[in-house]
């Protein structure tokens, strides 16, 4: 059910993001949505801090954000794009599952103090499946990029 997106006031903070996504601490991986072109693209931010629970074991003494979490952060940004682009019936709840990842590349490590800029473009939609291309940048340089497919499932 695609419709004209409601008027959206950017940036969106964590309170608005948690109203769109089911993810919560410690697995909510986006802090802010700063740009949105409904049905086309979104830009979200993630401030990477030393307090992230995954840094305790990845790697002690040399904290590096796991690559799979970079992909997950891009997928969460994609979820906000879909949720902000489509109108839904009151009480209609959906969840997005990451179904496939292609062409994943990891170009640099992400460490505490970095700010991720997650740029996600919606390539196409077929029924309940959407294909995206995403990039995670730090200081304007690609840290990770991937194509991925997500499925929308009623919750």
Q: How many folded domains does the chain comprise?
A: 1
Pick the catalytic residue from 23, 58, 62, 122: 58
Residue for token pair 């700010």: 115
pLDDT, position 90: 67
CA distance 90 to 108: 42
CA distance 105 to 125: 23
Residue 62 belongs to some domain of the structure: yes
Residue 34 belongs to some domain of the structure: yes
pLDDT, position 6: 57
Residue 144 belongs to some domain of the structure: yes
Assigned token pair, 33? 């949505």
Residue 4 belongs to some domain of the structure: no
Residue 112 belongs to some domain of the structure: yes
Contacts of 132 (CB under 8 A, 6+ apart): 74, 75, 78, 81, 120, 121, 122, 123, 147, 148, 149, 150
Of 136, 146, 145, 150, the closest CA to residue 45 belongs to: 136
Residue 59 belongs to some domain of the structure: yes
Residue 3 belongs to some domain of the structure: no
Per-residue pLDDT of the chain (155 residues; tens, 9 = 90+): 444 445 789 999 999 999 999 999 999 999 999 999 999 999 999 999 999 999 999 999 999 999 999 999 999 999 999 999 988 776 678 899 999 999 999 999 999 999 999 999 999 999 999 999 999 999 999 999 999 999 999 98
pLDDT, position 92: 75
What pTM did the predictor assign? 0.93
Assigned token pair, 22? 């089911």
Residue for token pair 């103090």: 113
| Residue 58 is among the residues annotated as catalytic for this protein | yes
pLDDT, position 44: 98
Q: What is the CATH number of the domain that holds 84?
A: 3.10.129.10
pLDDT, position 4: 43
**Distance between alpha carbon 122 and the CA centroid of its chain, in Å?**
12
Residue 6 belongs to some domain of the structure: no
* Structural domain span for residue 109: 14-154
Count of Cβ atoms closer than 10 Å to residue 61 Cβ: 4
């Amino acid at each position: 059910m695609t419709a004209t997106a409601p008027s959206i006031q950017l940036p969106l903070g964590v309170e608005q993001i948690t109203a769109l996504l089911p993810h919560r601490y410690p697995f909510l991986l986006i802090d802010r949505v700063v740009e949105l072109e409904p049905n086309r693209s979104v830009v979200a931010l993630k401030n990477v801090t030393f307090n992230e629970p995954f840094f305790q074991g990845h790697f002690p003494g040399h904290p590096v954000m796991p690559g799979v979490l970079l992909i997950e952060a891009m997928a969460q940004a994609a979820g906000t794009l879909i949720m902000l682009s489509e109108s839904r019936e009151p009480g209609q709840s959906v969840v997005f599952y990451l179904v496939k990842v292609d062409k994943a590349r990891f170009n640099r490590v992400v460490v505490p103090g970095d700010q991720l800029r997650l740029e996600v473009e919606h390539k196409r939609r077929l029924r309940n499946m959407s294909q995206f291309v995403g990039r995670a940048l730090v200081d304007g340089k690609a840290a990770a990029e991937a194509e991925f497919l997500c499925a929308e499932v009623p919750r």
